[in-house]
Structure 1
Amino acid sequence: MTEKFPRGRTAIVSTATYGMGEAPGLQSIDLLAHASIAALAKVGLTPADVDGVFTGMPFDLISGLSVPEYFGIHPRITDNNRTGGSAFQTLAIAAALALDAGLCDVALIAYGSNLRTGAGAISPPPPDPFEWAYKARYPISAYALAAARHMHEFGTTREQLAEVAVAARGWANRNPKAVKRGPLTIDDVLGARMVCDPLSVRDCCLVTDGGAAVVMTRADRARDLSARPAYLLAGAAATTHNRIAAMPDLTVTGAADTGPRVWAQSGYGPADMDALQLYDAFTINPILFLEDLGFCPKGEGGRFVSGGRIAPGGELPVNTNGGGLSCVHPGMYGLFALAEAADQLMGTAGAHQIDRAVDLSLAHGNGMLLSSQATVVLGSASTL
């Protein structure tokens, strides 16, 4: 079956983040609201203009109702996705389809979480009988399994995993909003406290508060709202399992499915991308996604990221805000990746805007225990 994504017919026109780090006294929905109002205000809109709400709050199973009620609006369509951190790339796909079909005119994709100062850790479902006897610590044990298997099969080293963390910190040091800044070396990562072999604490994402929002419209209106809209050229999602014991291959994620689909939809390939935002809950993640999305062969991800290739000054900018490892990670990071991809393309990233033209940008989300993957390709007007 040939997918018919509405290529270039919708666009992101604005983004905003709020409360990254610690936001004591604010609830998750407050953080979402602050980010949403800021994103809308940038393009002269208010919550009253929103008729499509796309969200997924961490501890609110009916946030498709809670968010509109909070704003006092009555949207024509809502979507409340529960696939974890990949939810927001999937919601961008749903918003593009809804806008293109005329089901709404202004789509708001929004998230907020007071994970650090408020509600506590997000836990996946209880493990099945094949897992509980081993007293796994989730989610890290699942990612440690993937990392260990990748090391066993392909010779990936802890030093190569550390390259991912060091690159992320390098980008964070350019971003005044990043939660974790300062020097970080490969030796620092290797010498950090081991949490779940082979992953040290520096191989693990932050635990923060934070809210993010993205505003989308149809392409004809986008040009009136933004000087340089980020057009959605492609979007694909895939799920492979829920619990880690059911993952078909610990070294292959659903990105191996979404990658070929977004390249076919967009008409572009890995070599065309100017910047990547890859969900980096743990250092193994970008390595797996670079392989599965086609940026390097399977098993070559560790060598691919070595030598500062994805760091500032390297040939492929990856996680240019500092990612989940050094910028922000309030339970689910996917919307922050999407916002950063759009900001780099729109030229609105501020102090951490990369020093080269960005016409094609990719945002990839990861949900739960490598369970759900979703990929979005954004382009400038010249790519349509």
Structure 2
Amino acid sequence: MGWVNQDKCAIVGVGATDYYMRGKSWPRTINDMAGEAILAACADAGISVKQIDGIAYYSTAGAGYLDKFDTASLMETLGIPHVGFSATLTSGGGGCPGAIGLATAGLMNEDCTYTITLMALQQLPQHRLGVVFGASAPSPENSFLQPSGLVGPGHLMSVLARRHMHLYGTKPEAFQEIVQGTRANAYNRPKAIRKNPLSDEEYQKSPMLADPLRRLDFCLETDGAVAVVTTTMDRAKDCRHKPAVVHGVAHGGQREWGRAFAWMGMPDPHFASSGHKFVADRIWDQTGLSAKDMDVALIYDHFSPMVLMQLEDYGFCAKGEGSDYVLGGRVRYDAATGRGVNGGVPVNTHGGNLNEAYIIGMTHIVEGVEQVRGTAINQVKDAEFALVSGGPASLPVSGMILRKAA
């Protein structure tokens, strides 16, 4: 079943601030960084910010962990005269690509003409996702998590990773390969936080924070902002760059995944998964494509095992075969050929959340746009289709296929 809005909208502008280590962006503010990213995205698209008349948020309009975005405040700050569309997906980083689908809905309903999707992130010692569950007030869910020492997402993800290892014989070396393979893509990224080559010894010396996850299996904690502009294909023709066509996008999930790592009620095999199978099947059904048709995959990598589990859920390999797939070098990008290694699809050619920056998934969308434009730093040869994923997180999670313009 084809998607009714297939190829009718496109991302036409991307913009970002510098990326800062956690807490180093001060005295900048969330709105300051968000404004810079939005203005840069509009300049990239070749439009005025006053042409923006729609905002498609995700993470319940969360501005990192410290604040919420407010449409009226952004309009006042940037001089946007009016909006006809302002909406948000719930959950967290799982809604990142899905927010582009939300933008598409507003555009196709003719509620707006140019939409912004953005994320700005600024962390303080008392506002860190890494300890969010431990710092939360007691609740029925937290009464299980807190006494167990599961104070942050990394601890919870470690339990899912251990279950996957138990069920399928997944090796911890596969997590190391994901970290090293994506680190190799960050060395030439001007804004990347972690760009030095990562040796086996350095990885092994990385402290074990939540067995089997080492510190380097955790994503970065960074400050910064990223924004993208989406519009209809007829308007995209007049923009500055070739459009990144929205070929398919879906968000949602199934009950067994539910609150994801914030609740341990999922049965096997959903427990040892990324919770993306439902969304992946929808995207492949929408587009008639499959994993083998992808030229590059921008996989949400807040923790290295979740990359492996998403590769399984999206069908790059069978369930339980992610360890062998990864250890075969198939997530690596070969700069000499501009393609994947051993017949694989290059993963996170920008370095991802693990190495470039963690702006709750938005850097993956930027890289997907640049890959199908043909302007990426680590350009995949003849890239036509890019997969972008959001989450694992509490539902909804989401995924998107960007297509090269004809």
Partner SS state of residue 271, structure 1? helix
Partner SS state of residue 94, structure 2? helix
The answer to whether structure 1 residue 105 and structure 2 residue 125 are counterparts is no
Using a 3 Å threshold, how does the CA distance of structure 1 residues 68 and 222 change in structure 2: closer, same or farther?
Answer: same
Matches within 5 A, 1:1-384: 4-21=3-20, 22-55=24-57, 56=61, 57-58=63-64, 59-61=66-68, 63-73=70-80, 74-115=82-123, 120-122=127-129, 123-124=132-133, 127-239=141-253, 240-242=257-259, 243-248=262-267, 249-313=270-334, 314=341, 315-330=344-359, 332=360, 334-349=361-376, 352-366=377-391, 368=393, 371-382=395-406
User: Is residue 384–residue 404 contact of structure 2 (8 Å, CA) maintained in 1?
Assistant: yes
Q: Matches of 1:5 and 1:69 in 2, distance apart? A: 35
Partner SS state of residue 219, structure 2? coil
Q: Matches of 1:28 and 1:64 in 2, distance apart? A: 13
Q: Matches of 2:168 and 2:70 in 1, distance apart? A: 42
User: Is residue 275–residue 392 contact of structure 2 (8 Å, CA) maintained in 1?
Assistant: no
Using a 3 Å threshold, how does the CA distance of structure 1 residues 155 and 34 change in structure 2: closer, same or farther?
Answer: same
* CA RMSD between the two structures: 1.9
Once the two structures are superposed, residues 85-109 of structure 1 have per-residue CA deviations (whole angstroms, 9 ceiling, x without a partner) of 1222121001011111211100111
TM-score, structure 2 length as denominator? 0.87
Using a 3 Å threshold, how does the CA distance of structure 1 residues 186 and 247 change in structure 2: closer, same or farther?
Answer: farther
Give, in angstroms, the shift of residue 310 of structure 1.
1.2
User: Is residue 297–residue 348 contact of structure 2 (8 Å, CA) maintained in 1?
Assistant: yes
Where structure 1 has 5 or more consecutive residues not aligned to the other structure, the ranges are none
Using a 3 Å threshold, how does the CA distance of structure 1 residues 118 and 211 change in structure 2: closer, same or farther?
Answer: farther
Identity of aligned residues (%): 28
Match of 2:178, as an amino acid?
V
Using a 3 Å threshold, how does the CA distance of structure 1 residues 17 and 96 change in structure 2: closer, same or farther?
Answer: same
Partner SS state of residue 246, structure 1? coil
Give, in angstroms, the shift of residue 78 of structure 1.
0.6
Once the two structures are superposed, residues 24-54 of structure 1 have per-residue CA deviations (whole angstroms, 9 ceiling, x without a partner) of 3111221111111011012222221100012
Once the two structures are superposed, residues 252-282 of structure 1 have per-residue CA deviations (whole angstroms, 9 ceiling, x without a partner) of 2331001111111122111110101000001
Give, in angstroms, the shift of residue 371 of structure 1.
4.5
Partner SS state of residue 225, structure 1? coil
User: Is residue 178–residue 304 contact of structure 2 (8 Å, CA) maintained in 1?
Assistant: yes
Once the two structures are superposed, residues 56-111 of structure 1 have per-residue CA deviations (whole angstroms, 9 ceiling, x without a partner) of 22233453443333323221111233311122212100101111121110011111
User: Is residue 390–residue 397 contact of structure 2 (8 Å, CA) maintained in 1?
Assistant: yes
Q: Matches of 1:316 and 1:186 in 2, distance apart? A: 23
Using a 3 Å threshold, how does the CA distance of structure 1 residues 299 and 65 change in structure 2: closer, same or farther?
Answer: farther
User: Is residue 306–residue 392 contact of structure 2 (8 Å, CA) maintained in 1?
Assistant: no
Give, in angstroms, the shift of residue 175 of structure 1.
1.4
221-230 or 285-294: bigger deviation: 221-230
User: Is residue 45–residue 241 contact of structure 2 (8 Å, CA) maintained in 1?
Assistant: no
Q: Matches of 1:292 and 1:174 in 2, distance apart? A: 30
Q: Matches of 1:343 and 1:173 in 2, distance apart? A: 18
Q: Matches of 1:5 and 1:185 in 2, distance apart? A: 47
User: Is residue 30–residue 112 contact of structure 1 (8 Å, CA) maintained in 2?
Assistant: no
Q: Matches of 2:235 and 2:126 in 1, distance apart? A: 39
Give, in angstroms, the shift of residue 19 of structure 1.
2.2
Match of 1:144, as an amino acid?
S
User: Is residue 54–residue 64 contact of structure 1 (8 Å, CA) maintained in 2?
Assistant: no
Q: Matches of 1:227 and 1:135 in 2, distance apart? A: 49
Once the two structures are superposed, residues 288-313 of structure 1 have per-residue CA deviations (whole angstroms, 9 ceiling, x without a partner) of 10000111100111111114321221
Where structure 2 has 5 or more consecutive residues not aligned to the other structure, the ranges are 335-340
Give, in angstroms, the shift of residue 244 of structure 1.
2.6
Match of 2:274, as an amino acid?
T
User: Is residue 3–residue 248 contact of structure 2 (8 Å, CA) maintained in 1?
Assistant: no
